[in-house]
Structure 1
Amino acid sequence: MKAVQYVEIGRAPEVREIPIPEPKPGQVRLRITAAGLCHSDWFVMGLPQSVMGHALPMTLGHEAAGIVDKLGEGVTEFSVGDDVAVYGPWGCGACDECTRGRENYCPNAAKLGIRPPGLGAQGGMAEYMIVDSARHLVSLQGLDPVEFVSLTDAGLTPYHSIKHQLANLPAGSTAVVIGTGGLGHVGIQILRALTPATVIALDVNEEKLAHAREVGAHHVVLSNADAPAAIRALTGGVGADVVFDFVGAAPTLETARASVRIDGAIEVVGIGGGSVPVGYGTVPAGASVRAPFWGSRSELIEVLALARTGQLKVSVERFDIADAPTAYARLHDGSIVGRAVVVP
């Protein structure tokens, strides 16, 4: 079968022929119908070998959907032919967090060597994929896998972050979204669906800001050194109740710090390598900073349910599996608007 693999440290991913895997007891094999690309893939591919901690080659793709193709011994929860999405943050399955469906916060995964597909385990950017447990599958229930596969991360991650802040986003509040790409453009829609907050979107060019308006932002601001002043002006000098930074780089986090109100909150969702100093005098009084990770299985079910109502749409650019390396190059240089999806 064809698979998009990260083969060697420092080299771009490539399409390779590898054997079709066989499911072991408790596992499920999917025939992949769609797999999303993500900046997290580039983050992993940028790690040195000493930090990476897992073997290469590795099939990429932590956003995956497919049709159940073969069941390992003992699997009864799904049937061959079922159309499913993969819940990506795999945990031990036995701790308090995992038993509540919050495998994204499993305290045992790292020490047990359990890693998400495409981010350590073999992923879904291939013709077939092995899912380690039926509990990591969620029924699509009629959703188009190509259009909605990205919700397994690009929807689930902002949903988890926004849901945590719902009490801080009542009528009259303001939410700032920094970065309106793969996660951010879905985050804007989730904010509009779940809250009455005014949404201010920031990005680096007019094309991306126009897209942010199309998906529901009330105001758009160029992401530069003048952005905090613009946000203050739009909020009567008060600042934003919550800033969601879907970039996470040093400049955007400085914008977040300078834009949040007293007793507000900053959600550092992006993995751009920046940080926010927290202490007396470094952020407004009472302001909190949180670094959420992915989301729970029940939240993925909620995200897909929200999509079925028509309130979430993912802007998708489709690629054949042979063109996946080109798609990754375009993702890296910022020329993808929305989400890139590989269709084997």
Structure 2
Amino acid sequence: MRAFQLVHAQKPPELREVPVPDPGPGQVLVKVGGAGACHSDLHLMEAPAERLPKLPFTIGHENAGWVEKLGPGATGFAPGDPVMVYGPWGCGLCANCREGKENYCQKTGGLGGGLGGHDGGMAEYLLVPASRFLIPLGTLDPREAAPLSDAGLTSYHAVKRSLDLLGPGSTAVVIGAGGLGQMAIQMLRALSAAAVVAVDTSADKLTTAKRLGADEGLLSGEEAVTRIKDMTRGQGAELVLDMVGVDPTLRMAAQVARVLGHLTIVGLGGGALPVDFSSPPHECSVASPYWGSIPELMEVITLAQQQKIKMLVEGFPLERAGEAYQLLHDGKIQGRAVVTPHP
């Protein structure tokens, strides 16, 4: 089969011929319908060798498809079933895993899928170590649903943990209106009563954000900070989601958050949050969540089945995976690029 693999550190991945995996006891082979291209993959491509798993490995941690073959003892699914693949593969035995929070597995540190030394899904087939990592998709198309496993789940978890702050009259600010931000806007609209403010450097992305449910779209800068303060009567937003995570966005996040609010860092931009006695505001909680739990992914899929959320998807055949990542790098993907090995 063909697989898009990272072969050498700090060099572009390559499309290679590799053997089709044969599922062993308890394992499941999935025929990949869609594999989302994520910004975190770009960080992997730029990382030095000492920060990478053993090379080569197939990238792609946002995956959905159809069950191809069950290994001995694997149960719960049948060949042909459309499924979503939960990405962070934990041990299944620690306290967090037993609650479905395999993203915070105490044994593995939460790294799973294509991020943890296993081959990911940017290939024709993906070997999944256990059927507990598969969730039925029902009528959803795997080629369109794949990004829900990360962009959808991560955004959902980031919003859900702050719902107690988001009653009528509250404000939520989403910094970065790309694929993750677009999902966060829809999650806020589906789950809360908050006024939703999108902030981005791209006017086009702000137009998309408003179409997806944002009440206001602001170009990033000091004027955006002033406008948010005016909207909130000088108090700042109850929830600020930074979907970018670079120095300028984190600085803005600290400026527009409020006392006793939540500032949640989702983006992996590598910036540093300015922290002193008054920044962020007093008793504003700062968190950096990682993915979400298996039960939460089931809830995300239900929202998609109810048509309350929808990922904007641009499809690319496997041979154009490199092009998809280049467009992502250049900021030219409006929603989420999805590689489709089986169109």
Residue type at the aligned position of 2:60? G
The aligned counterpart of 1:173 is: 170
| Structure 1 Cα separation of the partners of residues 27 and 75 of structure 2 | 11
Match of 2:283 among 277, 282, 286: 286
CA distance in 2 between partners of 1:160 and 1:94 (Å): 22
Q: What secondary structure, in the 3-state scheme, does the structure 2 residue paired with 1:123 have? A: coil
Deviation at 1:226, TM superposition (A): 3.0
Aligned partner of 1:96 in structure 2 is 95
Residue 182 of structure 1: how far off its partner (Å): 1.0
1:106 counterpart = 2:102: no
Does 171-180 or 222-231 show the bigger shift? 222-231
Residue deviations 1:159-194, cap 9 Å, x none? 001000000111000000001111110110010000
Distance 1:224 1:43 in 2: 25
Shift of 1:278: 3.9
Whether 1:252 and 2:231 are equivalent positions in the alignment is no
Q: Aligned partners of 2:278 and 2:238: how far apart in 1?
A: 18
1:234 equivalent among 231, 234, 256: 231
RMSD: 1.1
Q: Provide structure 2 residue ranges, at least 5 long, that are not aligned to the other structure.
A: none
Cα offset, 1:51, TM superposition = 2.1
| Number of equivalent positions | 340
User: Hey, what's the Cα distance between the residues in 2 that align with 1:305 and 1:275?
Assistant: 35
What amino acid is aligned across from residue 269 of structure 2 in structure 1? G
Contact 1:41/1:118 (CA < 8 Å) preserved in 2? no
Structure 1 position 320 matched with structure 2 position 317: yes
Post-superposition offset of 1:225: 3.5
Match of 1:11 in 2: 11
Q: Which of 109, 115, 118 is the equivalent residue of 2:114? A: 118
Percent of aligned pairs sharing the same letter? 49
Corresponding residue SS for 1:155: helix
1:264 partner amino acid: G
SS at structure 2 position matched to 1:85: strand
Conserved? CA contact 1:5–1:58, under 8 Å: yes
Residue 290 of structure 1: CA displacement?
Answer: 0.5
* Cα contact 2:101–2:292 (8 A) shared by 1: yes
Question: Which residue of 2 is the match for residue 343 of structure 1?
Answer: 340
Give the counterpart letter for 2:7 in structure 1.
V
* Kept in 1: contact 2:65–2:143 (CA 8 A): no
**Counterpart amino acid of residue 152 in structure 2:** G
Which residue does 1:72 correspond to in 2?
Answer: 71
TM-score (structure 2 length as normaliser): 0.97
Residue 65 of structure 1: how far off its partner (Å): 0.8
Task: Please show how residues 1-344 of structure 1 align to structure 2 within 5 Å.
Answer: 1-52=1-52, 54-110=53-109, 115-119=111-115, 120-344=117-341
- Is this contact kept in 1: 2:103–2:111, CA < 8 A? no
Distance 2:275 2:186 in 1: 29
Distance in 2 separating the partners of 1:273 and 1:163: 24
Q: Secondary structure at the match of 2:113?
A: coil
Q: What are the superposed Cα offsets for residues 118-175 of structure 1, whole Å, 9 maximum, x if unpaired?
A: 2131001110110011111000011111221110001000100100000011100000
User: Which amino acid in the other structure matches residue 65 of structure 2?
Assistant: G
Distance 2:325 2:201 in 1: 20
Tell me, yes or no, if the aligned pair for 2:11 and 2:46 is still in contact at 8 Å: no
Offset of 1:117 from its aligned partner? 1.6
Consecutive unaligned residues of structure 1, counting only runs of 5 or more, are none
Q: Does structure 1 retain, via aligned residues, the 8 Å contact 2:62–2:149?
A: yes
Q: Displacement, 1:209?
A: 0.6
